[in-house]
Amino acid sequence: MNLRGLRVLITGAAGGAGASIATCFARAGAYVHIADIDARAVKALAAGPEKISASVCDCGRADAVDQLFEEASAALGGLDVLINNVGIAGPAAAAEDVAPEEWDRTIAVNLSGFFYCVRKAIPLLKQAGGGTILNVSSTSARTGLPHRLPYAVSKVGVLGLTETLARELGPFNIRVNTILPGWINNARANSILERKAKELGVEPKVLMAEELQFISMRTQIEPEEIAEVMMFLCSSGGRHVSGQHIGVCGNAEYER
């Protein structure tokens, strides 16, 4: 897909699915600037062949996001696409055992961080005559996820952010959509599966087969699949798609 010349900022993009998304956009001809809190991973991705520029940023802090946008604007010369991808897992605990500081940090990164980026991106997108905001949520926003209350609530909040921004920004030719990834086939997701299997005393392949029963298409999702949907939404083909929550998940029916 040809996205030549598109100016793209992606948060949480130095590793995992974010790094795959950044690489795919760069290979499609976009100018890409990434942000991540992991300084070593940021340096490694920026040193790659795709000529991606980068910033170290804690997106859960408004002042850090202000600095990010100064650096991104200087590197890109403007903005056409913001991809709010940053996110943390938050605590795994019963609701009554979640510490207030764990709640605050999860909401700060996964929801407030999106707002901090949006408020800085909107003037740049208006200046460009329009553009795209993609907010990454999770299938957990639809299924719920026991013992992961801060995470699930933050991801539900992202849906409301998208719906409201789509209405507010539509007249300015800025389209806003949500991506809901499913169970991604990468090192992070697979390590979680292996740890859970060890705790339960079962083989990882046995647990994987059980978990896949809750996905209609019985499949994990490759990071590149998420990037491909995002690239379509940022292309001329997606020029009238806005206010939508798009699952890239094989239809996740349930989580446990």
Amino acid 2: pLDDT = 77
Q: Would you say residue 193 lies in a domain?
A: no
pLDDT tens figures, 198-214: 888 999 899 999 999 99
Q: Would you say residue 215 lies in a domain?
A: no
Domain of 32?
7-184+221-248
Which residues are known to be catalytic?
151
pLDDT tens figures, 79-96: 999 999 999 999 999 999
Residues of the chain scoring pLDDT < 50: none
Residue 256 to residue 242: CA distance in whole angstroms: 31
**In this structure, what CATH number is given to the domain that contains residue 145?**
3.40.50.720
Amino acid 255: pLDDT = 84
Amino acid 193: pLDDT = 84
Count of domains forming the chain:
1
Amino acid 106: pLDDT = 97
Which residue has tokens 């940021």? 42
Q: Would you say residue 98 lies in a domain?
A: yes
Q: How many C-beta atoms lie closer than 10 Å to residue 7's C-beta? A: 22
Amino acid 256: pLDDT = 77
Amino acid 254: pLDDT = 86
Amino acid 115: pLDDT = 98
Amino acid 5: pLDDT = 95
Q: Would you say residue 254 lies in a domain?
A: no
Amino acid 196: pLDDT = 86
